[in-house]
Amino acid sequence: MNSISTSLGRNYIDLWKENMKEWDGTLSNRMINDEAEDAFWNAFLEKKQQNGTVDTNAYAHIIQEELLKLLHESDHVLEIGPGWGNYTFCVSEHVKQLTCVDISQSIIDFLKHKTEKMQLNNISFIHEKWEQLNIKQTCDVVFGINCYYRIRDIDKALLKMNQAASRLVIAGMTSGPEKPHYIDLHREHGYSIKFRRRDYIDLQNILYQLGIMANCRIIEIPRVSIYESFEALIRDNVSKILTRDYNQQEVEQALSRYVVEKNGQYEYSYTIHAALLYWKPVNI
C-alpha cells in the first residue's frame, strides 16, 4: 500500500481505529465478536418481524434515487453489508445482477426469503466477512452504505472495494450534523455531547491518504421526530448529553427553537445528510 501524506499531517487510518472505541475508551462486544454481531441482527430482525415493520428506512428512498443514477442496467453489482435491504431490492430491479456479501447468516437468510417472496432471480448471496473474502472476479460496481462501523482495517477494506470493481466504487454513509439543540447546548453552554466519533469525512480522508480522489455527493434528508408527550420529548433528546447535572431549563430552551406542539404532540424537525463517495477504480 502506497499511502500519501496529508497536508494536516494526520494518519486518518489510525484515527478511524481509535474512534471505533466508545466514549469510555472501550470497544463494544459487537465490534470485536462476529457471533455477537450476528446475534444482534437476529434479534433485530425478529423484533421487526413481530412488529410488522421490516421495511426500508423512511429516508432510504432519497438515497436510493441518487445511488441509482450511478448505476447502469447492464451492471453486475456487488453490495457489502446489505442489512435488511434498504438498497438491495431497488438496486436489483435496476441492474443485470446483484451479489450481496454479509457476515451475518441471519441477514442472509432474511434477504433470501424476501428475494424468493418478491420473485427476484438476479440476486445471489455470499456469507462471508468482507475483509476475509477471496475475490475471484471483478464486478462492474461495488458499493456499501453504512456498513463500515465495525471494520477495523478500513484501509484494506476500501482497497479491496477498489480492487473488486471494474467501473465504479461507491462508499455511502448517513451523516450529521447532530440534532441542532445538541450543537446549541455545546456552543452556548459548553455542554459535553456524545457527538458521532466517525463520519463520511473520515472515509474521504482515508481515501485521500490511500491516493484515491473520491467524488462526494451530499444528500439532504429532512427528518421529523414525533413525541406523544413532553416527557417523551425530553427523555429522547438528552441521551447524548455527557455533562453531569445539566440544566433542565437550558435543555428545554434549546429544544423550543426547533419543536412545535400540534394536537397534543411534539414535532421536532431537523435535517441530516447522507454522503455518497464514488470513484473510478485506480491502480494502487
Model confidence over 101-135: pLDDT tens digits? 999 999 999 999 999 999 999 999 999 999 999 98
Q: Are 213 and 162 in contact (CB under 8 A)?
A: no
* Residue 13 pLDDT class (50, 70, 90 cuts): very high
Cα separation of 270 and 259, whole Å?
9
156's grid cell: 484494506
Mean pLDDT of 67-81: 98
69's grid cell: 443514477
* Residue 1 pLDDT class (50, 70, 90 cuts): very low
Q: In the 8-state DSSP scheme, what is residue 86? A: T
Q: Give the predicted TM-score (pTM) of the model.
A: 0.92
Q: Is the pLDDT of residue 53 over 80?
A: no
Q: In the 8-state DSSP scheme, what is residue 5? A: -
Q: Is the pLDDT of residue 5 over 50?
A: no
* Other C-beta atoms lying within 10 Å of the C-beta of residue 118: 13
* Residue 10 pLDDT class (50, 70, 90 cuts): confident
**So what's the pLDDT on residue 24?**
86
**So what's the pLDDT on residue 150?**
94
**So what's the pLDDT on residue 2?**
44
* Average pLDDT, rounded, for the chain: 93
CA pseudo-torsion sign 7, 160, 80, 214: positive
CA pseudo-torsion sign 180, 182, 186, 188: positive
Q: In the 8-state DSSP scheme, what is residue 6? A: -
Share of residues in the chain with pLDDT > 70 (%): 95
Share of residues in the chain with pLDDT > 90 (%): 87
Q: In the 8-state DSSP scheme, what is residue 67? A: H
Closest CA to 79 of 115, 43, 49, 35: 115
Angle at 160 between CA 92 and CA 211, to 5 degrees: 115
As a 3-state breakdown, the chain gives helix, strand, coil percent values, each rounded to 5, of: 40, 25, 40
User: Which residues, other chains included, contact 53 with Cβ-Cβ below 8 Å and sequence gap of 6+?
Assistant: none
More confident residue, 67 or 3: 67
* Residue 59 pLDDT class (50, 70, 90 cuts): confident
* Domain range summary for the chain, segments of one domain joined by +: 12-176+196-222+272-279
Cα separation of 11 and 8, whole Å?
9
Give the range among 7-11, 89-93, 148-152, 173-177 with minimum mean pLDDT: 7-11
Closest CA to 284 of 223, 214, 230, 233: 214
**Domain 12-176+196-222+272-279 class?**
alpha beta
Give the range among 19-28, 165-174, 272-281 with minimum mean pLDDT: 19-28
**So what's the pLDDT on residue 57?**
78
Cα separation of 92 and 68, whole Å?
10
